[in-house]
Structure 1
Amino acid sequence: MRLYTLSKRHFVLVFVVFFVCFGLTVFVGIRGPKVIQTSAANFSLNNSKKLKPIQMLSNPLSTYNQQLWLTCVVELDQSKETSIQTSFPMTVKVDGVAQDGTTVFVHNKVHNRTRTLTCAEKCAEIIVAHLGYLNYTQYTVLVGLEHLKLPIKDVNFTWKTYDPAFSQLEIWFRFVFVVLTFIVTCLFAHSLRKFSMRDWGIEQKWMSILLPLLLLYNDPFFPLSFLVNSWFPGMLDDLFQSVFLCALLLFWLCVYHGIRVQGERKCLTFYVPKFFIVGLLWLASVTLGIWQTVNELHDPMYQYRVDTGNFQGMKVFFMVVAAVYILYLLFLVVRACSELRHMPYVDLRLKFLTALTFVVLVISIVILYLRFGAQVLQDNFVAELSTHYQNSAEFLSFYGLLNFYLYTLAFVYSPSKNALYGKPPWGPGC
C-alpha cells in the first residue's frame, strides 16, 4: 500500500488536502441558493362563523421544483399563554392544471385524515399535502377545516417547493462527483491490475466495492428526475444512497475485525453476523422510504409519522439495532487497538483508518447537530420536509465529505509506484 511509503509530512499533506477540498465545497454551498422556496397565501375568515372549504392555486411550477408541499399555520383567537392540543379531521382534494388551463384529477376523491393541532405561544405548522413529483404546471388544492371546533382568527397557508437554482446546482455537483468518482475508480482498479485478487488486502477489496457504490450514491441517473414525470428516479436515488451508506457501515465492521484475522475468514462466523446487523438497518430505512412513497402516490395527505400506527415500533427497532451496531463496532475497534498497537505496518493501517474515520464522524455529527439541534433523533427518523437540506452548504458538505473520504482512502490504499509484482499490494514492500 502507498500507506507504508508515506512519511509524517505526507500524512499531514493528505489531511490538509482533504480539509481544503471539503472546505471548498462548504464555501461554495454557503454562497449557493436556498434549498426550499416558499410562497405564502393568507386566508382571512372575515369573521365568518363557519369555516368553509378553502381553495388555493399554486404558483406556476417546473420540473426543477421537484416536489410540492402545502402547509398551514392556524392562528387562534385567544390568549397566547393558553396551550392546546387537539385532533381534528382534515379533508383535501388535489387537482392538476394542464398547460392549456384544463383541470385534471390527480386523485379523483376527497382525502380525509386526522391531524393534530398543537398550540403554545403559537400553533405548530401542519403539513396539509405533499406531492413527491410534479406532473402539471399548477395545482389547485381544496382544504376543508370545518371540523376544527376552535375560535380561529386566521389560517396561513404556505406553498413550499425546491428552489430551481438549487436543483441546477445539485445537477452540476452530482455530475462533477460522478465524473471524479469514475476517474478515481478507474485509477484505483488500474493500480491493482498487476496483482492477483487473492493478494489484495481487505481494505483494497472493500475499496473495489465501495467506489462503484459511491458512483451510484452520486446517482448518474439523477437528471432523469427532470426528464421523466415519475416517482421511480427518486426512489432509485433513495435506494442507491441507503445501499452505499450501509455498505460503508459494513466496511468499518469488516476492516476492524479482518485486520486482526489475517488468515481465512469463514463466511458463517465472520460475515453473517455483520451482514445481519447492517441488513436490518438497511431493511428498516428502505421499508419506510418505499412505504412513504407508495402511499403518497395514492394519498397526498399520507404521513408515516401521523398515519402509521407501527411507526414508533419501527423507530424503536431501528434505534436498538443502531445501538447494537455501535457497541459492536466499538468492541472491534478497542480490541484491534489493544492487540495490534505494537505490530509494525498493521498498526499504521489501523491508526490511519481510525483517525480519518473519526474526523469524518465528528464533522457529520457537528453538521447534524447544527441542523437539528438536540432533537436530531426524536422526530427526524427518515427524510421528509423537516429533514430536507435547508441550504446548499448542508447538501454539499454531506456529499463532499463522503466523496473526499473515499477518494482519500483510495489514494492511501492503492499500491505504491515501487510495488513488486511478486508481492501482495498491501504488504510492507508496497
Structure 2
Amino acid sequence: MMLHHFKKKHFIIMSVSFLSVYLVLLIIGGVGPQYSIVRDANQPMTVCSGSPNNCTLTITPATPVLTWTDSIGALSKSNRNLALYTQINLFDTNSSISSLKIPMRIKLVGVDSERQYDVSTTNQTFPTQCSSRQCQSFLVVNEIGVDYPAYTVTIDLFGFDNITSVEQIDFTFQYVNSSYALFEMLVRLIFVIITVCAFAGFLFSLRKFNWRQWTTEQRFMVLILPALFFFNITSGVGALMIDDFFKTIFISVLFYFWFVIFDGIRKNGTEYSYIKFYVPKIVLAVSFFLSSLVTMSIFEYKQKHDPLSINPSYTMIIFGVISAIIMIVFLFYIVYLIAKGWITTKTLPFINIKLRLLLLLSVFVIAALGLGILFSWIDSTGRNAIQFFSYSGLVNLYIFALTILYLPHPNSDMLYQNLNRDGAELPHLRLDKDKEEEEFNEVYL
C-alpha cells in the first residue's frame, strides 16, 4: 500500500482532524433549517355539528355527502413535493370506535398566472385506526415534484359506516422547506467543488507515472472520485431515479473497493489469480447494484402511478428482501475481512498503526453506511439537516481522507528512476517490506 508518505503522527493527526470536521458538520446540521413546513388548511370539514343525534346528512350511493376545497400558494420547485394529511375527529360519545374506512374523491389542480391544470383525480377508500376522540392521520395527496406556484385541492366525502360519529375532519399541508433545499444544495455544491479539486490534484500528482505503475488503491481512487462527484451533484429536485441511480453506483463501487483492499490485506504475500480474486467481488457488487436498481425503479413507478398506496407490491417486497440479504452478506463479509486484516497487521510492526487506523476509520464508515441503507436513513435528499450531514458529510470526508492517504510520495519519481535503472522491485507494492520502507523514509524524506 502507498503509505510511505505518512508517519504515525500523520495518521493520528488525520484521524483527529477527520473526527473534528465531522463533529463540526453535525453541529452545522443541528442548527440548520428544518426539513419540512407544516401548514394547517384554512378551514376543516365539518361533518356533523352539535352531536351525533342532530346529524342531518343525507347519504346517497355514489353521491358525495360533503365537499371541501382549499388552496395553497407561494410554492416553487425547491419545495420538491406537496402532501396533504387528513385527521378524523370523533364525538366524545363515540370514543369506542376503533377503525374507520373513509371513501373520498380527491382532485388536485395546479394553478399558475395563466390558467389551471388538472393534475390528478383519485377515488380511494382510506382505512384509519382510532383511539379516544382522534383517528390516525393519513395521506390523501402526495404530489412528487412541485410544478406550479399554487394548487387547489377538492375533496368529496362519500357516506360510510359511523359517519354520524365524525365531528369534523382536519387537513394539513406539508412540503419541503425551500430554505432547507437551498441549504442542502449549497453544501452539495461545496462538496462537488472539493471533489473536482481533489480529483484534479490526484491526477496531477500521478502525471509522472505510467498507469501501470499506479498502486491498486490509486487506480480505485480514479474511479471512486468521479462516482463521488455524481453522488454529490444529486439534489432531490430532479428525477429521483437519477439521484438514486448515481447513489447506488457510488455505494457499489465503494463496496467493491472495500472487498479488494481488505481481502488484499488478508492475503498479503500470497499469490492469487485475477479470476479467483476479482471476479467474485465484481459479481457481489453488481448483484447489489442490480437488485437496488430494480427496487428503486419499482418504487418510483409506484410513486408516480399510485402515490397514495401504503402497501408495497410483491415485486418490490421480493427485491427489497434480496437487497437487504445482499447488504447483510456484504457487512458480514467485510467484518470478516477486517478481522483477518487486523490479525495480519500484527505481523507488520512498522506499518501496524497505519493500517489499524485505516481499518478503524473504514469500520466507522461501513457501520454507519450499512445501517443507513438497511433502515432507509439514506435517501436522495435526507429528511433533516443532521441526517444529511451524518451521511453525506461522512462519506465525503472518508473519500477525501483516502485521497490524501494514497497520494504518491513527493520523491516517488526519484525512487522510480533509481529502481527502473537498477531493475529493482518497488518497495511499496508489498505490505511486508518494513525494512525497505524504513530505509526509503530515511533516504527520501
Pairwise TM-score range, normalised by the shorter structure: 0.7 to 0.9
**How far did residue 381 of structure 1 move?**
8.2
Residue identity in the other structure for 1:106: V
Residue identity in the other structure for 1:111: T
Distance 1:77 1:405 in 2: 56
Distance 1:238 1:345 in 2: 42
Q: Is 1:331 aligned to residue 332 of structure 2?
A: no
Aligned residue among 82, 85, 88 for 1:74: 88
Structure 1 spans left out of the alignment, 5+ residues = 226-230, 369-375
Alignment match, 1:259? 265
Alignment match, 1:103? 116
Deviation digits for residues 219-277 of structure 1 (CA, Å, limit 9, x no counterpart): 1x649x4xxxxx54x43222111211222122111211123446776454223332333
Alignment match, 1:8? 8
Q: Is 1:133 aligned to residue 145 of structure 2?
A: yes
Alignment match, 1:371? none
**How far did residue 402 of structure 1 move?**
0.8
Tell me which moved more, 259-268 or 35-44. 259-268
Q: Secondary structure at the match of 2:22?
A: helix
Distance 1:83 1:285 in 2: 41
**How far did residue 135 of structure 1 move?**
1.8
Q: Is 1:312 aligned to residue 317 of structure 2?
A: yes
**How far did residue 164 of structure 1 move?**
1.2
Deviation digits for residues 276-308 of structure 1 (CA, Å, limit 9, x no counterpart): 33333323332232223334334443x4x5252
Q: Is 1:116 aligned to residue 127 of structure 2?
A: yes
Structure 2 spans left out of the alignment, 5+ residues = 49-54, 60-64, 420-425, 431-436
Distance 1:345 1:87, change over 3 A: farther
Alignment of 1:25-424 (within 5 A): 25-41=25-41, 42-47=43-48, 49=57, 51-77=65-91, 82=96, 84-85=98-99, 89-100=103-114, 102-107=115-120, 110-120=121-131, 122-146=134-158, 148-150=160-162, 151-219=165-233, 222=235, 225=237, 232=239, 234-261=240-267, 266-301=273-308, 303=309, 305-343=310-348, 347=352, 350-361=355-366, 380=376, 383=379, 389-419=382-412, 420-421=415-416, 422=419, 423=426
Q: For the Cα contact (< 8 Å) 1:415–1:426, is it kept in 2?
A: no
Q: Secondary structure at the match of 1:218?
A: helix
**How far did residue 218 of structure 1 move?**
0.6
Q: For the Cα contact (< 8 Å) 1:96–1:105, is it kept in 2?
A: yes
**How far did residue 407 of structure 1 move?**
0.6
Distance 1:37 1:277 in 2: 41
Distance 1:324 1:341 in 2: 26
Distance 1:414 1:188 in 2: 7
**How far did residue 344 of structure 1 move?**
5.1
Distance 1:292 1:249 in 2: 23
Distance 2:369 2:272 in 1: 32
Higher relative contact order by CA 8 Å / sep ≥ 6: 1 or 2?
1
Q: Give RMSD over aligned pairs.
A: 3.1
Q: Percent identity?
A: 25
Residue identity in the other structure for 1:129: V
Distance 1:287 1:157, change over 3 A: farther
Distance 1:140 1:358, change over 3 A: same
Say which one has the larger Rg.
2
Distance 1:399 1:382 in 2: 9
The number of equivalent residue pairs is 405
